[in-house]
């Protein structure tokens, strides 16, 4: 249905574009056999209808050379597009339908010798056979032009003729004969434009028509299969045949897409298919609506339609086009139009009686009837539009598809309800047991799900308490042991030393509790970050200086490595800017420096390094990489990912007694997540470690409000 809607919008736009183009070209009209476009540029010549006065030579089959003889033929000037039956002879009588003639039009194009592009002539329908010369060159025509019905071979399909235009005067000569049908001559507009635009117009028409035919085919197949599966649904069969009939009419009209599948299809049978499909559509429509709303049907009208329309179908089938095309007007207004009026009456009456689906069908049918009236007037040469019945039929059939689908769904629902009621009547006790069993099973399933969730929560709680108790047990045990030794007098001379140890373990315990609370807040999004733009170089220098004394007092060399910036410290120049929460980033750097201090021996080195990396992974295109490097013991490869998880300490695996909370790096990881950054480590045992975190950065200048 979505594809159908898109196709409908596509077709509507194309049709609107054509009407707009036709309106724009209304000011260009041929006069006395000359279409003057010499004052127009080729760049604004997308599509021109060759309407207006053409030279017309009745009962003469002239070639271009005949117009340059010493005694050229004398033309009459007639309006195109019009069937020549609307032209009058010298005695004021109209021309007969059968005959032959020559049309001639001279076109004045811009005198732009260097830019005259290839042009194309788009001929939609010329009845019933024709030959075309353009600038003296014989082009492709349709059928065989003759002077009687025996020498003529009719063929009238849309055709595009490409040719090289001339600057200035161009000439089109068309020989036409008609001994085969009601319409005669050039009765539809011909289009002239650049080869590219005419090709696109042709492709647009073919694509739209093919799409409509495809939709009709799919609907016919679907509802045909519905009928095969449910033989009682006779409406589905009628609807399938209706879609098929409309599809056949569409495929032989307009762009005649049937020729792409059946290139040898005789013209006579294509016209028969057109007329028979229209009569069959009207007959199927009456049968379909009588089947849908039998209470509102009028039996006498149905019987008359069921008698008259098959007679026309037999007439179209058994007689040649030169016979049955002449009954188009009585067929249109005597059989087809009354069928439409009857169908509309049925829908209106059903809508007033509130029949299901009647309002939807009536709205769809009003669209269909409007397009049908357009085609009636178009094919009887009373309205200069185009064949648009397929669009109206598509809208109408889509409403019927909706109604049929609703009815099938409703019937299925009713069947299910009846089956359910019968089951409740015959198996009341069993149903009650089943319902209670089902309710019990549902409750049991919900209880199992709740138990599973409780088990998961309990497992999380146990693991959390296990981690906490495991990490808190060591400092608590130490505190208890030292306190008991002091209380029992076991330790006397070294009491201050053990008091200091108790104090140190208390600080570690306090830090672990604080870190656990901090990490929990970060993981549950309970921490508010105060993000601001800062100058990266100044910020790093300030942070480095805060920890310089603490590091150097432990006998460790402390270094700062910044990128060289000639404008460092100049507030009026551009620098490297990052957006961060200064307090949280200082917390990250403090954790990394503290870790480095614990694992770096005296005379070792801790270096804070900053460098910029160009990367496509950030919106700014740059990242600031801040690293804390040490010359400590290093970290084994298998521990380099685990140390960023809770309570994971590499010191335990390295046999080094450097106690920490085991939460610092996990906190750092969470802080970097909120900064859209990342943190990682590279290390080799015995060669030190390098902890780096990255933040998006860009070149810019701080605003006054951002300078603190």
pLDDT above 80 (res 18): no
- pLDDT of 572 reads 54
Type and span of the H or E element at 401? helix 389-426
* Tens digits of residue pLDDT in 422-471: 877 777 777 777 777 888 888 888 888 778 766 645 554 554 555 565 55
If one compares 104 and 486, the residue with the highest pLDDT of the two is: 104
| pLDDT band, residue 697 (cuts 50/70/90) | very high
Pairing assessment for the beta strands 190-194 and 557-561 based on DSSP bridges? unpaired
Q: How far apart are CA 696 and CA 676, in angstroms?
A: 8
If one compares 547 and 177, the residue with the highest pLDDT of the two is: 177
Question: Which range scores top for mean pLDDT: 49-63, 77-91, 558-572?
Answer: 49-63
* Tens digits of residue pLDDT in 574-623: 789 999 999 889 888 988 998 888 888 888 999 999 999 888 877 888 99
Q: How far apart are CA 215 and CA 442, in angstroms?
A: 46
| pLDDT band, residue 165 (cuts 50/70/90) | confident
| Rounded to 5°, angle at Cα 509 from 503 and 511 | 105
| pLDDT band, residue 138 (cuts 50/70/90) | very high
pLDDT above 90 (res 174): yes
pLDDT above 60 (res 499): yes
Q: How far apart are CA 422 and CA 424, in angstroms?
A: 5
Q: How far apart are CA 179 and CA 150, in angstroms?
A: 9
Q: How many CB atoms lie within 10 A of CB 261?
A: 8
Give the residue ranges of DSSP H helices in 171-266: 195-229, 234-252, 258-261
Whole-structure pTM value: 0.52
- Percentage of residues of the chain with pLDDT beyond 90: 18
- pLDDT of 10 reads 42
Secondary structure letter of residue 182 according to DSSP: S
Give Cβ neighbours of residue 171 (< 8 Å, ≥ 6 apart).
64, 104, 105, 106, 107, 133, 134, 135, 136
* Tens digits of residue pLDDT in 345-360: 887 888 788 777 777 7
Range name among 212-221, 261-270, 336-345, 518-527 with the lowest pLDDT average:
518-527
What mean pLDDT is reported for the chain?
79
Q: How far apart are CA 394 and CA 243, in angstroms?
A: 9
pLDDT above 60 (res 708): no
Rounded alpha-carbon distances, angstroms, from residue 373 to 212, 382, 388, 389, 668? 20, 11, 10, 9, 77
Residue 557 pairs in a beta bridge with 605
Query: What number is the average pLDDT over the span 309-335?
Result: 86
Q: How far apart are CA 328 and CA 178, in angstroms?
A: 17
- pLDDT of 33 reads 92
Q: How far apart are CA 521 and CA 531, in angstroms?
A: 18
Give Cβ neighbours of residue 611 (< 8 Å, ≥ 6 apart).
563, 625, 627
If one compares 618 and 78, the residue with the highest pLDDT of the two is: 78
- pLDDT of 226 reads 82
**Residues 666/671/676/680 CA torsion (nearest 10 deg):** -40
Q: Under a CB-based contact definition with an 8 Å cutoff, are residues 210 and 175 in contact?
A: no
| Rounded to 5°, angle at Cα 516 from 512 and 519 | 135
Q: How far apart are CA 680 and CA 671, in angstroms?
A: 13
| pLDDT band, residue 12 (cuts 50/70/90) | very low
Secondary structure letter of residue 26 according to DSSP: G
- pLDDT of 477 reads 67
Q: Under a CB-based contact definition with an 8 Å cutoff, are residues 668 and 591 in contact?
A: yes
- pLDDT of 37 reads 85
* Tens digits of residue pLDDT in 243-300: 888 888 888 877 777 776 777 788 888 888 888 988 888 888 888 888 877 877 787 8
519-527: which pairs have CB atoms within 8 A and are 24 or more residues apart? 519/646, 519/663, 519/666, 519/667, 519/670, 522/667, 522/670, 522/671, 522/674, 523/670, 527/674
- pLDDT of 702 reads 78
| pLDDT band, residue 2 (cuts 50/70/90) | very low
Q: Which residue has the tokens 């397009």?
A: 371
- pLDDT of 22 reads 41
| Rounded to 5°, angle at Cα 182 from 177 and 183 | 60
* Tens digits of residue pLDDT in 208-218: 878 888 888 88
Q: How far from each other are the two terminal CA atoms of the chain, in whole angstroms?
A: 61
- pLDDT of 384 reads 64
If one compares 446 and 15, the residue with the highest pLDDT of the two is: 446
């Amino acid at each position: 249905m979505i594809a159908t809607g898109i196709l409908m919008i596509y077709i509507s736009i194309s049709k609107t574009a054509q009407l707009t183009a036709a309106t724009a070209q209304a000011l260009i009209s041929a006069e006395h056999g000359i279409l003057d476009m010499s004052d127009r540029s080729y760049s604004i010549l997308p599509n021109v209808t060759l309407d207006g006065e053409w030279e017309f030579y009745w009962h003469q089959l002239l070639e271009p050379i005949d117009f340059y003889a010493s005694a050229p033929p004398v033309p009459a000037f007639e309006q195109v597009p019009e069937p020549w039956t609307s032209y009058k002879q010298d005695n004021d009588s109209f021309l007969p339908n059968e005959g032959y003639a020559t049309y001639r039009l001279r076109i004045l194009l811009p005198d732009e010798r260097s830019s005259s592009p290839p042009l194309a002539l788009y001929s939609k329908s010329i009845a019933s056979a024709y030959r075309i010369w353009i600038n003296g060159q014989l082009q492709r025509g349709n059928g065989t032009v003759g002077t009687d019905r025996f020498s003529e071979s009719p063929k009238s399909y849309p055709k595009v003729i490409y040719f090289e235009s001339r600057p200035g005067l161009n000439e089109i000569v068309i020989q036409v004969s008609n001994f085969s049908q009601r319409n005669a001559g050039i009765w539809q507009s011909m289009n002239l434009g650049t080869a590219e635009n005419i090709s696109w117009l042709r492709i647009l028409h073919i694509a739209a028509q093919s799409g409509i035919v495809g939709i009709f085919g799919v609907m016919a197949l679907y509802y045909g299969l519905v009928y095969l599966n449910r033989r009682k649904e006779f409406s589905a069969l009628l609807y399938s045949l209706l879609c098929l009939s409309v599809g056949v009419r569409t495929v032989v009209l307009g762009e005649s897409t049937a020729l792409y599948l059946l290139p040898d299809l005789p013209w006579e049978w294509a016209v028969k298919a057109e007329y028979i499909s229209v009569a069959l559509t009207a007959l199927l429509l009456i049968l379909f609506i009588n089947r849908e709303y039998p209470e509102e049907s009028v039996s006498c009208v149905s019987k008359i339609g069921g008698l008259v329309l098959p007679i026309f179908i037999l007439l179209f089938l058994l007689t040649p086009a030169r016979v049955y095309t002449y009954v188009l007007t009585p067929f249109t207004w005597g059989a087809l139009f009354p069928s439409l009026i009857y169908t509309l009456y049925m829908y209106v009456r059903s809508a007033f009686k509130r029949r299901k689906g009647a309002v939807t069908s009536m709205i769809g049918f009003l669209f269909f009837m409007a397009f049908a009236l357009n085609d009636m007037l178009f094919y009887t040469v009373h309205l200069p539009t185009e064949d648009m019945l397929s669009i109206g039929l598509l809208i109408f059939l889509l409403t019927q598809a909706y109604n049929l689908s609703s009815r099938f769904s409703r019937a299925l629902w009713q069947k299910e309800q009846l089956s359910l009621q019968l089951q409740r009547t015959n198996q009341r006790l069993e149903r009650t047991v089943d319902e209670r069993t089902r309710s019990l099973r549902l409750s049991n399933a919900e209880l199992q799900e709740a138990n599973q969730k409780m088990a998961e929560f309990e497992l999380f709680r146990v693991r959390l308490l296990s981690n906490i108790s495991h990490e808190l047990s060591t400092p608590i045990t130490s505190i208890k042991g030292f306190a008991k030794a002091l209380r029992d007098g076991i330790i006397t001379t070294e009491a201050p030393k053990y008091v200091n140890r108790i104090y140190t373990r208390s600080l570690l315990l306090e830090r672990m509790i604080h870190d656990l609370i901090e990490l929990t807040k970060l993981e549950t999004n309970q921490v508010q970050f105060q993000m601001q733009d800062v100058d990266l170089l100044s910020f790093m220098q300030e942070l480095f200086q805060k920890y310089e004394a603490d590091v150097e007092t432990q006998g460790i060399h402390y270094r700062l490595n910044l990128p060289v910036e000639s404008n460092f410290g100049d507030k009026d120049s551009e620098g490297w800017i990052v957006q961060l929460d200064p307090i949280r980033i200082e917390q990250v750097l403090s954790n990394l420096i503290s870790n480095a201090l614990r694992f770096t021996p005296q005379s070792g080195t801790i270096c804070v390094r900053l460098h910029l990396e160009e990367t496509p992974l950030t919106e700014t295109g740059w990242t600031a990489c801040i690293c804390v490097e040490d010359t400590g013991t290093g970290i084994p490869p298998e521990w380099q990912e685990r140390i960023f998880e809770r309570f994971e300490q590499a010191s335990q695996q390295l046999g080094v007694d450097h106690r920490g909370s085991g939460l610092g790096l996990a906190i750092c990881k969470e802080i970097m997540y909120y900064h859209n950054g990342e943190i990682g480590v590279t290390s080799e045992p015995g060669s030190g470690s390098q902890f780096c975190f990255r933040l998006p950065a860009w070149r810019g200048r701080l605003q006054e409000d951002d300078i603190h």
